[in-house]
Amino acid sequence: MFILDLKKISGVVAMALIASSSLIAGGNEIKLKTPSLEERAIDGAIKYEIKDGVYANTYRVNPKAYKMAPKYGRAATPNEIKAWDIDVRYDWQGLPEGKGTATEGDELFEKHCAMCHGDMGTGGNGYPKLTGGDISTLTNQLVDPANGDEPPERSIGAYWPYASTLWWYVKTGMPFPHPMSLTNDEVYSIVAYLLQVEEIQIDGKDIEDDQVIDKKTLMKVVMPNVNGFYPEVNGPDGPQNMKKFLSDPKNYGTPTTRCMKNCPKGKVVHIKAALDDGIIPPSTQIKDLPKEKASGGDGADSKAAKLFESKCNACHGNAAIAPVPGDKDAWEARIKQGQETLYDHAIKGFQGMPPKGGAADLSDADVKAIVDYMVGKSK
Amino acid sequence: MQNKNSNNKVASRRGFLKNMAASVVAAGALAPAALRAADDPIIMKEQEWSTKLGLPVDKNLYGVPSPYEHNVVRRVHKLLSSGDMYASVAMCPIQDLEGIITPNGLFFNRCHGGVAIVDPNKYRLMIHGLVEKPLVLTLDELKRYPTESVIHFIECPANGSTEWRAPQFNTLQFIKGMMSQAEWTGVRLKHILKDLGIKPEAKWVLAEGNDNSHMGRTVPLEKIMDDAMVVWAQNGEALRPEQGYPVRLLVPGWEGNLNVKWLNRLEIGDKPWHAKEETSKYTMLMPSGKAIRYFWPMEVNSVITRPCPDKDWKGYKAGDVIEIEGLAWSGHGLVKGVDISFDGGENWVEAELKGLVLPKAWTRFSYIFKWDGKPLLLSSRAYDEVGNVQPTIDQEVKKMGVENIYHRNAIVTWEVKANGEVNNVHIRS
């Protein structure tokens, strides 16, 4: 063991020494051995091999399993691939034909999205805020709200690097309770609307209300924050760029020395505003028998209850969006309108409630049964 | 000889019965004074469960924990969800776990559109894109490949994200419970892909799930051909629905989100995809206003699990010798060691690793400590096989700021008070 002042040695020599052994630097710090780029996998991790039938010096493996070439399964047909290949890559590979307008998108957004994401996507109800951010806020750091610190606003227009992600997200992940239900034209319209709200330009011009946005026009969109991300992963060197980045812990604030003695002193910061009260169920170390649950009888296992769970609970499970079954105050006035009115509103839609809650596959009888179940729980 | 033997047996039985009778008389004589102050009534009296029949063996044909363990559960918090309990997370009670394997029912559960219940008979895995031979496999066909079983943690990169600005939770479950560990069984993807004729320009793979969110993530082909697996079992049984039943991707050491659940499609491509979970989310916004993307591995990390705010030292007194225990892990390889500090990080000593020490896996550490009953600031600091060391909070925040949400691995410190109470605190300059 020897003491070494790394600062006095040229970088190349120091790196070679570090790579070869653990060193004590300055007495109180232990410098760790770091592998070379060649010894690392693509994520900067140690690259493990199979040696003498042992993987990663840990797991025995059957070497013959690595030599066999199994031919199981069958070829995917072109139609099958087409049916499942629903992604839209950042270079627009996979974007289907279609068209829409911001005006149509506005209506669709009101019908399918606003109950969670708020008017014009400005957020609310705990669901993600989609719009209203500004790229200039991305350098904000909300360290202390009492200091007047503001958070960065990661809205679509301010943060997302590619509009392709928006199209793909809406098509395959939304509307939240029943994704894959929007037509491609409807998706084009909602995307056009959100881009318009975010003041994204096409060919240097704002998106007009009735401007037709189709595949060709959408592919012209360049998002303001397209260069706001690193490392560069898109070119032919993408994987290698990632490897270099992840292999250098300085890039993510991680030291490679262990300070052992007289390390920097700090002050103790205690919890000021604990969030523990919101934990469900409350934390406890008690070992006892569970309290007897009230016996069923609320039809929790019924078909209507199950349909409610799968089709309605995404909104009606959140009091900020829609009345929750069991919330007697919220239901009193509604129940007074009579069952027929409630059936009618549920089937045809009413205010924020889309027809059948957006679950067009439900029969009228199913919807009525669900209403009965919700009312039954709320009396 | 045989006769003599049996006579001896008879004789000894008689003697036994005689002695029994005598001892019954003696016990009877003592009965009124049986309970002395130092006697534990639990020992002195037969308990209900030892004096009646237990449950019949056909009572729980799929076993459940003791009813007394009903408080050991996953827990949720509205602030950690996107509006509801479908795009949300249920935290693992790591304060109550022993060893390095998480029971399947307690494995943390993060999903983006609810827990899909997939019919295994209708399960298909499709592999297509830049391959000569696009492939469809049923679940039965998938299971014909040679299998391996490996132990790896899965950790959501948002684990500990509530701690960026200040300590906010005083339970380990919500400080570090967005992770769990299992033994996973499945097939290495290289076995499946090597015969499909991957085209030379292929560099990236889109892995997509078949749940409500159709969650997709881009994985570099190099990782897919290295240690990535498709797995269908955890801890010896089929994956739980919460873990993607019937099949999920396993990318050892990487962000939980990349271990795509309900996996039904792998598309090989020449470019990365930039899916919703690698642009709008799972990107790390730095103080410069630029964001790091594709930060795959989970960095070196550790936390002391005994004591912790949930498992305090109120039952101990000055002079007691106590084992300090915890978990360390790194997505970069093996945990090489763990240091412990008793003074908030000014001075450190080395703890011992114990049990199985596996790559990209939870590793237990231990330190035997004689407590003088004085308050402590107790911290652990792990270092790993690539030479990475857990940063102090100051070191991490100085580089990363407080807005990047993901990949927080700064040193965790418990304040141990003289009365044994344990609190989550931060050490800051």
- CATH, domain range A83-218: 1.10.760.10
pLDDT bracket for residue B36 (50, 70, 90): confident
Q: Of A22-26, A66-70, B279-283, B403-407, where does mean pLDDT reach its minimum?
A: A22-26
Architecture in CATH for domain A303-378: Orthogonal Bundle (1.10)
What is the rounded distance in angstroms from the CA atom of residue B135 to the CA atom of residue B130?
12
Compare CB distances from A44 to B173, B280, B332 and report the shortest one's residue.
B332
Task: Tell me the pLDDT tens digit for each residue of A75-96.
Answer: 999 999 999 999 999 999 999 9
Query: What pLDDT score was predicted for residue A293?
Result: 61
Comparing A17 with A259, which gets the higher pLDDT?
A: A259
> Does residue A15 have a pLDDT over 50?
no
Q: How far is B37 from chain A (nearest CA, A)?
A: 26
B400–A35 CB contact, under 8 Å: no
Task: Tell me the pLDDT tens digit for each residue of A312-332.
Answer: 887 788 777 788 888 888 888
Instruction: Supply φ then ψ for residue A169, to 5 degrees.
Output: -60, -50
> Does residue B227 have a pLDDT over 50?
yes
> Does residue B292 have a pLDDT over 80?
yes
Task: Tell me the pLDDT tens digit for each residue of B269-278.
Answer: 999 999 999 9
Averaged confidence pLDDT in chain B: 93
Which residues of chain B lie closer than 8 angstroms to A242, CB-CB?
220, 294, 296
Q: How far is A342 from chain B (nearest CA, A)?
A: 24
Query: What pLDDT score was predicted for residue A145?
Result: 87
**Chain B residue with Cα closest to A262:** B346
> Does residue B208 have a pLDDT over 50?
yes
Query: What pLDDT score was predicted for residue B403?
Result: 97
> Does residue B391 have a pLDDT over 60?
yes
Task: Tell me the pLDDT tens digit for each residue of A132-169.
Answer: 999 999 999 999 989 999 999 999 999 999 999 999 99
What is the rounded distance in angstroms from the CA atom of residue B336 to the CA atom of residue B39?
48
Query: What pLDDT score was predicted for residue A296?
Result: 47
Query: What pLDDT score was predicted for residue A329?
Result: 83
- What integer is the mean pLDDT of B25-35? 52
CATH 1.10.760.10 occupies which residues in chain A? 83-218, 303-378
A74–B136 CB contact, under 8 Å: yes
Q: Token pair 């839209």 is at which residue? A: A88
> Does residue B345 have a pLDDT over 70?
yes
Pairing of strands B88-90, B109-111: antiparallel
> Does residue A18 have a pLDDT over 60?
no
- What integer is the mean pLDDT of B37-51? 94
Q: How far is B274 from chain A (nearest CA, A)?
A: 6
Taking CA A125 as the corner, what is the angle to CA A121 and CA A130, rounded to the nearest 5 degrees? 25
Which domains occur in chain B, in start order? 78-282 (3.90.420.10), 301-425 (2.60.40.650)
Task: Tell me the pLDDT tens digit for each residue of A194-209.
Answer: 999 999 999 999 999 9
Query: What pLDDT score was predicted for residue A4?
Result: 39
> Does residue B3 have a pLDDT over 70?
no
Check if A293 contacts B (Cβ < 8 Å): no
Which residues, including other chains, have CB under 8 Å from residue A247's CB and lie 6 or more apart?
A37, A40, A44, B386
To test the contact with chain A by mutation, choose from B163, B178, B389, B392 the residue with the greatest count of A C-beta atoms within 10 A, namely B389
Check if B351 contacts A (Cβ < 8 Å): no
pLDDT above 90 covers a percentage of chain A that reads 66
Check if A319 contacts B (Cβ < 8 Å): no
User: How many CB atoms are located within 10 Å of the residue B305 CB?
Assistant: 22
Query: What pLDDT score was predicted for residue A104?
Result: 98
Check if B168 contacts A (Cβ < 8 Å): yes
Three-state DSSP class for residue B181: strand
Averaged confidence pLDDT in chain A: 88
A87–B208 CB contact, under 8 Å: yes
What is the rounded distance in angstroms from the CA atom of residue B413 to the CA atom of residue B218?
35
**Chain A residue with Cα closest to B85:** A314
